[in-house]
Amino acid sequence: MGLFGNFINLFQRSDGMSREMRRHLRSIDKEKARKMLVELNLQTERLTRQDIGAWRMAWQRALDVENPNRNRLYDIYTDVSCDLHLTGCIGQRKGFVTRKGFKLVDKDGMADEAATALFEQEWFDDFVSEVLDTRFWGASLIEFGAPVSVLGQMRFSSVSLVPRRHVRPEYGVIVRDQNDTPDQGISYREGSMADWCIEVGKPRDLGLLLKCCPQALPKKNMLAFWDGFGEIFGMPIRIARTTSADEKERSKLENMLEKMGTGFYGVFAEGTEIEIKETTRGDAYNVYDKRIERANSELSKGTLNQTMTIDSGSSLSQSEVHLEVFEDVVEQDRKFLRNVVNNRLIPFMIKHGFPLEGKTFGWDDTVEYTPEQIRQVEQMLIQGGYDIAPEYFKEKYDIDITGKRQPALPEPDGGSPDDEPDDLSPDDKKQLRRLADIITGGDPRFFG
């Protein structure tokens, strides 16, 4: 039994305790459990230099059967997560999952707009982000704030990740200090803490970042080595030769060479020669850039299962194949998220009073058209003779439609060819009158 449970039992053994007092203590127990983040002894993360050796040792420590500890591994994960290419891969994968709409349906499969509106809020976006991060970081524990009502609609006040360094998912406990052993922890799978937390992912899953580390760590080192190469060989070597034995002259010459830059000039003693020697080392591109390019390619394969949705491709046909592979990865993530929402989040919300009985979360498979495709469909319907309600165009394009334009009426009696358009030049009007006289034979009653 947890620490708070033992605390309650201690008071329950006292004689003469009323039922109201016990209920009050239980409410205190739940409130303490809900505020467990405040009670954790949080420590600053270590941003030390990491390498393959440190990664292997951290991995071994995380696999310890009796006292698994992922703290060193999380330090390395934090380090490699700053890789911009890896950040782009993760962002692309999460973005393709969340770009698709969702809906909640009842037992008959009919969409429920009121239930869907409960999820179209900021707290659910935070929850989805944490769930998808589980694919990369491994097992996660997500804590919810108390439900509140805003403008008559229920929502959770907050959604946050319980610091991973204080969670031991192998044993289902939270430890106060990140270096505590599992037997010192408090269970979050039963008791009051289970009322405010949702566990996502398999307990022993270490995430995809584990496989990304062997590529991200050397890449970071290669970038540092390339910077060192550029510092040494990127600038021409400055060589000065002098016949002077005077230490002051040599010190003056050395100071000028050190401060040599734009618009450099110097006054040297007779017999001094200055030589600028260009470097002949030009293979840095093949040594460093190719290794970085290979690391990026491997990171793309590990996170996206392909490379061409984030890197430049060689042909359209190949890019289409890579896109199909990537869509399979995205579909698996959507399935994972859907199962978490239906099997864990919705029962959790019902427990906290949300009106979701009999509701199921699903993705909206309505076909999404591009603006150009939509215009083509509209044009096809209009040309096909179908009647379309004016309200459709009014709401879609924000155009004030007052009615249908009437066809032009024929000229009333008394019209004549003398009714000339105003936009004609004098020469054109003269030609028009001459043509009318030829046609009518000069008879003004011809058009009457």
What is the reported pLDDT for 378?
79
* Cβ–Cβ under 8 Å, residues 107 and 358: yes
Question: What are the strands, taking DSSP E only, across 323-422?
Answer: 360-363
What pLDDT, on the 0 to 100 scale, is given for residue 382? 80
Q: Where are the alpha helices (DSSP H) in 138-208?
A: none
**Helix, strand, or coil here: 236?**
coil
* 235 secondary structure, DSSP code: S
271 backbone dihedrals φ, ψ, rounded to 5°: 95, 0
According to DSSP, residue 161 is labeled: E
Across-strand partners of 128?
none
Q: Which residue reads 């179209």 in tokens?
A: 120
Nearest Cα residue to 190 out of 178, 173, 176? 173
| Structure-token pair, residue 280 | 């002949």
DSSP bridge pairs for 148? 155
CA distance 212 to 214: 6
Closest Cα partner for 74 from 137, 136, 132?
A: 137
Give the count of beta carbons closer than 10 Å to the beta carbon of residue 258: 9
pLDDT score recorded for residue 246: 76
Among residues 412, 411, 413, 393, which one has the least CA distance to residue 403?
A: 393
Mean pLDDT, the chain, whole residue set: 79
Predicted local distance difference test score (pLDDT) of residue 9: 45
Q: Which residues pair with 177 in a beta bridge?
A: 41
What is the pLDDT, as a whole number, of residue 365? Answer: 81
| pTM attached to this predicted model | 0.69
Q: What pLDDT does 271 receive?
A: 65
List, in sequence order, every residue forming a beta bridge with 144; answer none if it has no partner: 159
pLDDT tens by residue, 182-216: 988 899 998 888 889 999 999 999 999 999 999 99
Determine the pLDDT at residue 72.
93
- Which pLDDT score is estimated for 57? 94
**pLDDT at residue 6, as a whole number:** 40
CA atoms 293, 296, 302, 307: torsion sign: negative
Q: Which residue intervals of 305-342 are DSSP H helices?
A: 316-340
Query: For residues 72 and 54, is the Cβ–Cβ distance under 8 A?
Result: yes
Compute CA distances 147 → 25, 112, 267, 282, 436, whole Å.
21, 21, 79, 63, 85
Give the dihedral sign, CA 29/352/195/14. Answer: positive
- Report which secondary-structure segment, H or E, holds 372: helix 371-383
Separation between Cα atoms, residue 38 and residue 32, nearest integer Å: 9
Alpha carbons within 13 angstroms on the beta-carbon side of residue 43 total: 14
Which tokens is 52 given? Answer: 């393959």
Q: What is the pLDDT of residue 322?
A: 83
Of 403, 401, 383, the C-alpha closest to 392 is 401
Residue with tokens 């016990």: 22
pLDDT at 21: 44
- In this predicted structure, what is the pLDDT of residue 386? 79
* 186 phi/psi in degrees, rounded to 5: -115, 130
Phi, psi (rounded to 5 degrees) for 258: -65, -35
List the chain residues with pLDDT less than 50: 1-18, 21-29, 32, 415, 417, 445-448
pLDDT, tens digit (0-9, with 9 covering 90-100), for 328-377 = 999 999 999 999 999 999 999 999 999 999 999 999 887 677 788 788 88
What's the confidence (pLDDT) of residue 391?
A: 80
